[in-house]
Amino acid sequence: MANHRSDCSLWTRRDFIHVGLGAAAAVALGARAHAGRPRDAAATGSVAGLNDLARRMHGRFLRRGSPGYDDARKVWNLAYDRHPLAMARCADIDDVRRCVAFARRHSVPVAIRGGGHSYAGFGVADDALQVDLGAFTTVSVDRDRRVASVGGGVKIRNLLTATLAAGLVTPMGSCGAVGVAGLALAGGDTSGRGLFGTACDNIVGAQLVTADGEVLELRSHQNEDLFWAIRGGGGNFGVVTRLDFRLYPVLTSHNAQFDLGWSGIGGAMRIFGDLVRETPDEVRAKFEVSAQTGASASCGFFGDPAAAAAYLETWKAAFRRVEAKMSTSLPNPEGEVWATTSVAVEGAFLEGVSDGAADVLARAAVAGRGFGEILMGLSSGVAARVGMTDTAYPLRGTGLSTLLSSEWTRPEDRARAERWVAEYGDALRPFARRAYVNYIPPSPPERIREIYGVNYPRLAKIKARYDPANLFRSNQNILPEVRT
């Protein structure tokens, strides 16, 4: 349905031969990122290093001044208009290692691009070297072991198409164009997490290129610290070139949707909050406010139709003022694809719908009518019961992962969108210290520390061990622990 961006086909190997004034200027800018080293020496070293890197790359390489640079640096969220030093479409793991070696040697930050769908635009960064994994598209499914292995640039639609062909599935997000790694490394707001845990809970192995250029295999008894950290800690620890996911049988979801419109949104939210306080693991649920059509609540029950019908009666009784729209569904690899846009977001992980939170969200809905969207997704069951310190992902316990978003097409509407998400995001903070890191704008260290809570000190230690210079900082950044 959507007109989302396709991968850039404008890159040619010839591009990397071109070294213009633009590139030299960009290198000088990149050198500014390195404190305490004479700028000219760094710049000279970087220019030579960049040429060398360009020559040695197996994949394509673009830098400022190259044809196609301006198109290639665009990410899904057009609000982020960033100018990287260069963009390397890595063809293989050696390319990734070359890029990391260049970045380390010249103190140039790395921006990792997987599926390009970061709300915060992290796949591209000013003056950074972009490591683009768009060519890491392999998906292989081992039906007997019930494991799918995917390259670091695979999108949800490609993963699910392959697993569904084997009659299997793993919890993933709702948009087929989103990158699997970008989603799963940060945790995952996924369907089916009540029964199977969320995306990061189903990572059983990974391959990662560290800031030192080492290629490490991660699993429960191999490089355990990193294996723990990447399950929730995002792209902070290196370039993930492969992820292995546990697979499950496909279940039908029996659904009821209640279109509630614009009246009594706060009350409807409280009813929703009561319904989801305790649910069977088979349940998935969300409450949405569309900018155009107002509120709706929906519930799905995976598996047995009779158990589903009995359970959904409680929802019908609770929302009896509107007629339920009933349906069944199976996992859909394409999902709901959003066209490339400009959008501002804020997030909050609510432990329930308190009167205060319902009041804030109801006011947000009314104030944002026509331009603001609210999404609250239930996280429960297995995903909620995983221990807080078992993985780095901090959103444990039953909760509602809440996303405020506001898109604009005309530049003059940007301020309104940003104001709305900021105002109501702030107003929600007293009810939710935590938030899903993929649903918030680029955030300061103190917010990231607060979100990871009890897991932050261990994350900071692991960061200090594997990325002491913080090369991987185009993300919700975990600062390397400062040793005293």
Q: Give the binding site for ligand FAD (CB under 6 A).
A: 75-76, 111-119, 122-123, 133, 152, 173-175, 178-179, 181-183, 185, 188-190, 234-235, 239-240, 338, 438, 474-475
CA gap 335, 337 in Å, rounded: 6
Can you tell me the distance from the alpha carbon of 395 to that of 416, in angstroms, rounded to the nearest whole number?
30
The residue among 76 and 319 lying less far from ligand FAD, judged by its C-beta, is 76
CB of 183 to ligand FAD, least distance (A): 4
Least distance in Å: CB of 338 to ligand FAD?
4
Q: Which is nearer to ligand FAD, 206 or 260 (CB)?
A: 206
CB of 162 to ligand FAD, least distance (A): 18
Shortest Cβ 113–ligand FAD spacing (Å): 4
The residue of the chain with the least Cβ separation from ligand FAD equals: 182
Taking alpha carbons only, the member of 52, 383, 50, 43 closest to residue 201 is 383
Residue 381 — left, alpha, or beta (φ > 0 → left; ψ -120 to 50 → alpha)? left
Residue 120 or 324 with smaller CB distance to ligand FAD: 120
For ligand FAD, the closer CB: 311 or 402: 402
Q: How far is the CB of 179 from ligand FAD (least distance, A)?
A: 2
Tell me the residue type at 371: F
Q: Which is nearer to ligand FAD, 118 or 380 (CB)?
A: 118
> Is 377 exposed, middle or buried, given 0-12, 13-18 or 19+ CB atoms closer than 10 A?
buried
The phi, psi pair for 328, rounded to 5°, reads -125, 155
Indicate the pairing of strand 215-218 with strand 139-142: unpaired
Rg, Å, the chain Cα set: 23
Nearer to ligand FAD, 173 or 399 (CB): 173
Q: Which residues pair with 255 in a beta bridge?
A: 300, 327
| CA 446 to centroid of chain Cα atoms | 20
Q: 141 pairs with which residues across the strands? A: 148
CB of 300 to ligand FAD, least distance (A): 14
